[in-house]
């Protein structure tokens, strides 16, 4: 249980620093060791989505909602 608290604290700290790629790496390592960790799976999906919106170039792409019919 202690390791679960440790990874959550570490990931929360990285997210607060907007270091999303490192947070993703930490979560992927947690899932490598414990593939059934549902908290890590959900958090990984959320951080990946945040990172996707964070790195999106709003000036380079007009299809911001990623609608397939505009591709």
**pLDDT tens digits, residue range 9-25?**
999 999 999 899 999 99
pLDDT-derived band at 1, boundaries 50, 70, 90: very low
Domain residue limits at 40: 2-58
Burial classification of residue 41, based on how many CB atoms lie within 10 Å of its CB (0-12 exposed, 13-18 middle, 19 or more buried)? middle
* Residue 44: pLDDT band with limits 50, 70, 90: very high
Assess if residue 69 is contained within a domain. no
> Burial level of 34, CB count in 10 A (0-12/13-18/19+)?
middle
Residue 66 lies in a domain: no
Residue 66 has what pLDDT?
62
Per the domain annotation, does 64 fall within a domain? no
Per-residue confidence (pLDDT) for residue 65, from 0 to 100: 65
| Domain presence at residue 42 | yes
Overall number of domains in the chain: 1
């Amino acid at each position: 249980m202690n390791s679960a608290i440790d990874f959550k604290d570490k990931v929360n700290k990285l997210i607060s620093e907007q270091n999303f790629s490192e947070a993703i790496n930490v979560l992927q390592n947690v899932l490598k060791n414990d593939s059934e960790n549902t908290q890590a799976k959900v958090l990984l999906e959320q951080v990946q989505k945040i990172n996707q919106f964070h790195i999106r170039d709003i000036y380079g792409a007009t299809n911001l909602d990623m609608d397939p019919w505009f591709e």
